[in-house]
Amino acid sequence: MSYSGGRMLLSSQREGQVSRFNVWVTILVPLLALLFQIYVPLFFRFLNFLEMPLLVVVYLGLMRRNPVSGLLVGAAVGLAQDSWSKNPLGMFGITKTLVGYFAASIGMKLDVDNVLMRFILAFFFYVFHQAFYWVMERALLSQQSPFDLTGWLGLGVLNALVGAALFHFLDKLRVTA
Amino acid sequence: MESFLNRYRNITVLLLVIFAQLVLLAVQVKNDQNVRFIRVWTVTAVSPMARLVEGMRGSGISFVHNYITLHDADAQNRRLQAEVDRLKLENIFLTNELNTADRAKALQLFQQRTPSKTLAASVFSMGIGSSRKVVYVDRGSTSGVMREMAVVIPDGIIGKVTAVYPTQSEVLLITDPMFAAGVVSGKTHAHGTLKGTGTPLCRVDFVAFEDKVEPGDWFYTSGDDRIFPRGMPVGVVKSVRPGQPYREITLDPSGMSRGSPEDVLIVVDSVHQEIPDTPPANQQVYLAPPPPPLAPPAGTTNDAAATAADGSAGAPAAHTTPGTEADKMHAQYQKAAEGAGMLLGGGPTGTTPTRPPDFTKLPVDPRTAIPGRGTAAAPVAPVPVQPAAVQPVPAPKKSTAPPVPAKGTGPADLKTTPDAVRRANQAAGGPGGLPQP
C-alpha cells in the first residue's frame, strides 16, 4: 500500500485507494468524539472550541471515499449530537450529513493523505459547518445568532490543526491490506 | 429507472436523508404563530393541490349541472308555463271582477241621474236553443217587474220584458226580429220604428223620404210605444239609403255595442226626458256660476248683493232666478201674480187688483217646452252661463259612444290602458265610461 506524497490532486480515480476500518472503529471513534464533545468542555472550558464529531465525520468521509457512507456517518453522528444537546433533532444531523457527503465526494478527487490538504479540508469543512448551522438557526429556529466570520475562521484554524493531528492518529486504525 | 437510480444514487440518498431530517425538524420546531413547521409546510404544499382539485371538482359539477342535467330545465319550463297559464286565468278572473264592479257603479250612477225609476238586474242566461234573441234576468214579479217594461243600460236601450216569472224575467233584445220600438232622430226629430234584424245591427223603418237623416245621427226613444221613456239613446245611424216612400236606415245599437250586457236596468216607472240636441258624446259641459261673497258689505241691499254676485252691473233681476225646476215654476207663478197686482200666497199687495191672475198663460222655458205647443206669455229665459274655463268636449268624427259625463271618460279614451279607463269610469261614473269587456 503506497500513499502519494507530493501531489494534492489525483490524476485518476483509480489512484485513490479506499481505506477500510473495522466496524468497532467506525462505531467507537464517533462515540468517543461525541463523549469528548460533551464531557471534556465541562472540565476544560478552553477546549470548548473543538468540534471533535465534525473532525471524525470529515476524516471518515475523506478516507472511505464513499458519499453514501459518508452522509450516513454524518447523519448518525449529527443526530446523536442533537440528541445530547438542547437543539431540535436534525440541526447537526443535516449539517453533518452534508459535510460527510461533500467530504467523501472531495476525497475521491484529492489526495487526502497529504497533511496540508487535510488541514485545508478540515478548516474548510469547519467554516462550512458553522456557516450552514447559522443559516439553519435563522431559517428554522428563528434565532438571531451573530455572523462571526472572524471567529469561525480562527476556530477553523485551530480545529484544522487539531484535525491534522487527529487524522494522523486515526490513520493508524485503518485496516491494512 | 434502475440506471437512473444507479447513476444518481449518491445524490438521491443525500436528498432522502436530508428530507427525512427536515421532516424530523419540522415536527419539533414551531414558527412565530406557535404552529409546527410540519403543519405549515404540509398546508403550504397541499393547498395548491387542494385548490386545483377543488377547482376541477367545481368545474366538473358546474359542467354536469349546466350541460348534462338539462333535462330538469325542460320540466321546470313546463311547470313555469303551467303557472303562467294559471296566473293568466286568475288575471282574467280578477279583471272580470273589476269590470263587474265598474259596471255596477256605472249602473248605480245612471240610476241616480235618470228620472225614471229603475231596478237593477243581472243577466244569468241566454236563450239557448232558441232563434230568438232573448236573455233572462234575475228579477221577476216578486220584484215588481211586469211585461213590456223597458230594459236599458247607460249606453242605451237593450230590450223589453216579454215574460215574467216569480224570480226571473225574459227580455227580448232589440236585435230580435220581433222587436219594435218608437224612435226619433236627435237632429231632425224624424220619427221612425226601430226593428231588430237578427244581426248585431238594427233597422229604422217608416222614416219618410223627406226627413233628413245622415250617417252618424243619433236616434233616441220617442216614447210613442209606451214602453221606453222618451230620450233614451238607441244608437247611431250606420247607413242611409234612399227608398220610396221610406228611407232604409241601418242603425248600430249603442246598448249592444259591447255585446250582450251582463247587468241591466229594468225601467219600472218611466219618466220622459227631452231629446238631446247634440249627440251624447258631444254635449256641452255645464259650468256653475261663481258663488256669492260670504259677507256682503254693510248698507247694500240684497238685490245689490245679488247683482254683485252675478258679476254684471245693471243685470236684470231675472238673472237671480233660482235654478231648480220648482223654483223656476214658483218664479213664473209669482211673476204672473205680480202682474195681476197680487202676492202669490199672500193676497193683494195693497192695490186693488184689476183682474185675477191668469195662470194658464205662464211663460215657458224653451228648454223644457214641448215641441208643437205654443206659449201664451213671453218666456222668462235664464241667461245661459258661458263656460269660461272648461271647453266643450269636442265631438269625435264618428261617434257611436253613449253619453259621457266629461272629457277623458269617453269611448275614445277607453282605448288607453285598462287601469286608466277603470279609474276614469269610477271618477266620472258616466254611462259612456264603461270599460271594454
Domains and CATH numbers, chain A: 19-175 (1.10.1760)
Query: Rounded to an integer, what distance in angstroms lies between the CA atom of residue B282 and that of residue B392?
Result: 8
What is residue B126's predicted lDDT score, i.e. its pLDDT?
81
Minimal Cβ distance to B28: which of A88, A97, A98 = A88
B318/A20: higher pLDDT: A20
**Of all helices (H) and strands (E), which one includes residue A28?**
helix A23-43
What is residue B7's predicted lDDT score, i.e. its pLDDT?
80
Mean pLDDT of the residues in chain B: 75
Dihedral (CA of B170, B176, B181, B183) sign: positive
Task: Look at residues B380, B282, B263 and name the one whose alpha carbon lies nearest to residue B332.
Answer: B380
Q: Write b or e for each residue in A64-99: b if 16 or more Cβ atoms lie within 10 A of its Cβ, otherwise e.
A: bbbbbbbbbbbbbbbbbbbeeeebbbbbbbbbbbbb
Residue A99 vs residues A94, A109, A169, B47: alpha-carbon distances, Å: 9, 16, 21, 34
Whether residue A140 lies within 8 A of chain B, CB to CB, comes out as yes
What is residue B317's predicted lDDT score, i.e. its pLDDT?
42
B316 pLDDT more than 50: no
Tell me which chain B residues have a C-beta less than 8 angstroms from the C-beta of A78. 21
Question: Confidence band (pLDDT; 50, 70, 90) for B111?
Answer: confident
Alpha helix locations (H) across B340-435?
Answer: 418-428
CA A31, distance to chain mean position in Å, is 13
Query: Rounded to an integer, what distance in angstroms lies between the CA atom of residue B400 and that of residue B281?
Result: 8
**How far from each other are the two terminal CA atoms of chain A, in whole angstroms?**
7
Q: Specify the DSSP class assigned to residue B434.
A: P
Helix (H, G, I), strand (E, B) or coil at B348: strand
pLDDT tens digits for B19-64? 999 988 888 888 778 888 888 888 888 889 889 999 999 999 888 8
Query: Rounded to an integer, what distance in angstroms lies between the CA atom of residue A61 and that of residue A58?
Result: 5
Chain B residue at shortest CA distance from A100: B14
Per the listing, cell 205654443 goes with B374
Q: How many CA atoms lie within 13 A of B297 on its CB side?
A: 5
Helix (H, G, I), strand (E, B) or coil at B9: helix
What is residue A15's predicted lDDT score, i.e. its pLDDT?
55
- Hey, are the CB atoms on B29 and A89 less than 8 Å from each other? no
B293/A39: higher pLDDT: A39
pLDDT tens digits for B181-234? 999 998 888 999 999 988 889 999 998 888 889 999 999 999 988 899 999 999
Residue B404 vs residues B153, B367, B400, B433: alpha-carbon distances, Å: 13, 21, 11, 7
Under the phi-then-psi rule, with left for phi > 0, alpha for psi from -120 to 50, and beta for the rest, what region is B410? Answer: beta
Helix (H, G, I), strand (E, B) or coil at B216: coil
Task: Look at residues B255, B110, B117, B136 and name the one whose alpha carbon lies nearest to residue B196.
Answer: B255
Residues of chain A short of pLDDT 50, as ranges, are 1-5
What is residue B1's predicted lDDT score, i.e. its pLDDT?
66
Interface-testing mutation among B29, B31, B38, B41, with chain A (most A C-beta atoms within 10 A): B29
Query: Rounded to an integer, what distance in angstroms lies between the CA atom of residue A106 and that of residue A125?
Result: 11
Domains of chain B, with CATH numbers? 2-68 (no CATH), 116-277 (2.40.10.340)
The complex scores an ipTM of: 0.82
B432/A71: higher pLDDT: A71
Task: Judge if the upstream peptide bond of residue B245 is cis by omega within 30 degrees of 0.
Answer: yes
Query: Rounded to an integer, what distance in angstroms lies between the CA atom of residue B409 and that of residue B109?
Result: 14
- Hey, are the CB atoms on B18 and A89 less than 8 Å from each other? no
Q: What is the dihedral of CA A176, A100, A170, A153, to 10 degrees?
A: 150
Region B257-277 average pLDDT: 85
B367/B267: higher pLDDT: B267
User: What residue type is B158 in one-letter code?
Assistant: I
Query: Rounded to an integer, what distance in angstroms lies between the CA atom of residue B429 and that of residue A124?
Result: 113
Helix (H, G, I), strand (E, B) or coil at B156: strand
Minimal Cβ distance to A93: which of B21, B31, B32 = B21
Query: Rounded to an integer, what distance in angstroms lies between the CA atom of residue B168 and that of residue B171?
Result: 10
B295/A171: higher pLDDT: A171
Dihedral (CA of B304, B307, B308, B313) sign: negative
Minimal Cβ distance to A94: which of B9, B13, B22 = B22
Region B398-405 average pLDDT: 42
Q: Write b or e for each residue in B233-248: b if 16 or more Cβ atoms lie within 10 A of its Cβ, otherwise e.
A: bbbbbbebeeeeebbe
B342 pLDDT more than 90: no
What is residue B345's predicted lDDT score, i.e. its pLDDT?
62
Contact status, residue B152 vs residue B163, Cβ threshold 8 Å: no
Query: Rounded to an integer, what distance in angstroms lies between the CA atom of residue B172 and that of residue B161?
Result: 6
Whether residue A4 lies within 8 A of chain B, CB to CB, comes out as no
The residues, any chain, with a CB within 8 Å of residue B233's CB and separated by 6 or more, are B155, B156, B157, B218, B219, B220, B254, B255, B280, B402, B403
Question: Confidence band (pLDDT; 50, 70, 90) for B261?
Answer: confident
CA A96, distance to chain mean position in Å, is 8
pLDDT tens digits for B355-396? 666 667 665 555 444 444 444 444 444 444 444 444 444 444
**How far from each other are the two terminal CA atoms of chain B, in whole angstroms?**
90
Task: Look at residues B286, B287, B278 and name the one whose alpha carbon lies nearest to residue B403.
Answer: B278
Provide the number of CB pairs (under 8 Å) joining chain A to chain B.
Answer: 51
- Hey, are the CB atoms on B25 and A140 less than 8 Å from each other? yes
